[in-house]
Amino acid sequence: VTADFRFYKSIDSTNTEAERALADGCPTPLVIAAGHQTKGRGRLGREWFSEDPGNIYMSFVFRPHLAPSRMQRFTLWMGLELCAELHDQFDAPLMLKWPNDLVANGKKVAGILTEARIDSDQTRDLVLGCGININSNMDNWPEEIRQRATTLSQLKGTALDINQLGAALIRRGLNAYDAFVDGSYEKDFDSRWHRFNALEGQTVTITDHHGDHIGTIEGIDEAGALLMRDKSGITKTYQAGDVTLSGG
Ligand code: BTN
C-alpha cells in the first residue's frame, strides 16, 4: 500500500487539517501526523488532551464510496486492527471498547474519531483520527483524565520508539482500509471482534442523549451497533454513546 504522508511538528488538529486537505483536493490515501496538537478533538465534542510530545496524533484520510450504513462497522474494523497491531507489538492486554476506545486494564490508551462527509448517500470523504498515549508522563494532565487513562510506556514500564510504532500502525491501518473496501476483511472480522471486544458479556451502563441504560452486552448487529439486554430481558440497539463497565 502506498499513501502520502504529512508530518507537522505542531498543528491545531490532524482531523481539522485533514478537512482542509480534502477541501484542497489532496490525493488519498493520505496520512497526517503531528508532534502535538493545540486543539485536539475527541468524540462527542470533547477535547483530546494533546499538548505532550511523545504520543501519536494522526489521521487517515480516504475517499471511499461506502454506504453510510457501513461507517460504524468500518470504524470498528479499523479499531480492531490497530488494537491487534499494538497487541502484536507489545503483548499488552489491549482491548477495543465499543465504539472506538482502546483500553488496557480498564484504562484508556487510545481513542478514535471518525468524521465523514456524505453526499447523495455515499461517504465521499472519510477521516479517521487516532490519538494514542505512548510516552507521555501525564504529569500535567487533568487529574480526572489521569484516573481513567494510561500510556503504552506505563503498561510496558519502558519508553517506546514512537517512529517505529507509528510506521507499523500506518501500515496496518492502510492494509485494513484496503481489506475493508475489497471485502476481504469479512473473513477476519468476527475472530478479531471476539478476541478484542472488551465488553463481551459485561454488565454496563450506556450513556446516550436519552440518559443512562443498564444491561448486559450481547454483541453487535450487522451495522456495528451495540446490542444490550436490559433487566426485563428486552434487547435494544444502541448506535452511539459512552459505555461504562459496572465497577469501573
Ligand atoms: C476520543 O476518544 O474521544 C477520540 C479521540 C481522537 C483523538 C485523535 S488525535 C488525532 C486526531 N486529531 C484530533 O483532533 N482528534 C483525533
- Domain check: are 119 and 236 in the same one? no
Output the CA 69–ligand 1 centroid distance in Å: 22
For ligand 1, say whether the CB of 57 is within 6 Å of any of its atoms: yes
- Determine contact, residues 54/81, Cβ cutoff 8 Å: no
Query: Distance between CA 138 and CA 141 in Å, rounded?
Result: 5
Query: Which CATH number characterizes residue 224's domain?
Result: 2.30.30.100
> What percentage of the chain reaches a pLDDT higher than 70?
99
pLDDT of residue 169: 97
Pair (128, 23) in one structural domain: yes
Main-chain dihedrals φ then ψ at residue 172, nearest 5 degrees: -60, -45
Domains: count for the chain:
2
Please indicate, yes or no, whether residues 128 and 192 belong to a single structural domain of this protein. yes
Residues 189 and 241 in one domain: no
Whole-number pLDDT of residue 218:
95
Q: Give the CA distances from residue 26 to residues 18, 23, 109, 120, in Å, rounded to whole numbers and listed in that order.
A: 9, 8, 30, 21
One digit per residue, the tens of pLDDT, for the chain of length 248 reads 789 999 999 999 999 999 999 999 999 999 999 999 999 999 988 999 898 889 999 999 999 988 888 999 999 999 999 999 999 988 889 999 999 999 999 999 999 999 998 888 787 899 999 999 999 988 888 898 889 999 999 999 999 999 999 999 999 999 999 999 999 999 999 999 999 999 989 999 999 999 999 999 999 999 999 999 999 999 999 999 999 987 54
| Ligand 1 close to Cβ of residue 113 (< 6 A) | yes
Packing angle of the helix pair 71-90, 162-182 (nearest 10 deg): 140
Nearest atom (ligand 1) to Cα of 12: 14
* Claim to verify: residue 129 and residue 80 sit in the same structural domain: yes
Q: What is the pLDDT of residue 41?
A: 97
Same domain, 44 and 81: yes
| Residue where one domain finishes, among candidates 160, 176, 196 | 196
Residue ending a domain, choose from 180, 196, 212? 196
Residue range(s) defining the domain that contains residue 129: 4-196
List Cα–Cα distances, 177 to 64, 100, 111, 164, 181, in angstroms: 9, 16, 18, 20, 6
Same domain, 55 and 174: yes
Same domain, 117 and 223: no
pLDDT value, residue 248: 46
Residues 101 and 208 placed together within one structural domain of the fold:
no
- CATH for 154: 3.30.930.10
Sheet of strand 56-62, all strands in order from the earlier edge strand to the far edge: 4-11, 30-37, 56-62, 122-132, 107-119, 101-104, 94-97
Interval between CA 93 and ligand 1 midpoint (Å): 22
Instruction: Tell me how crowded residue 23 is: count the other CB atoms within 10 A of its CB.
Output: 10
Q: Do 118 and 153 belong to one domain? A: yes
- Closest C-alpha residue for ligand 1 atom 10: 57
Question: Which residue's CA is the nearest one to ligand 1's atom 2?
Answer: 111
Range 185-198 burial, b when 16+ CB lie within 10 A, else e? beeebeebbeebbb
29 CA distance to ligand 1 centroid (A)?
18
Q: Which three cell numbers stand for residue 58?
A: 494522526
Q: Under a CB-based contact definition with an 8 Å cutoff, are residues 58 and 170 in contact?
A: yes
What are φ and ψ of residue 36, in 5° steps? Answer: -155, 165
Instruction: Indicate the residue among 157, 176, 196 that finishes a domain.
Output: 196
Is 105 found in the same domain as 153? yes
Per-residue pLDDT at 247: 54
Residues 226 and 175 grouped into a single domain: no
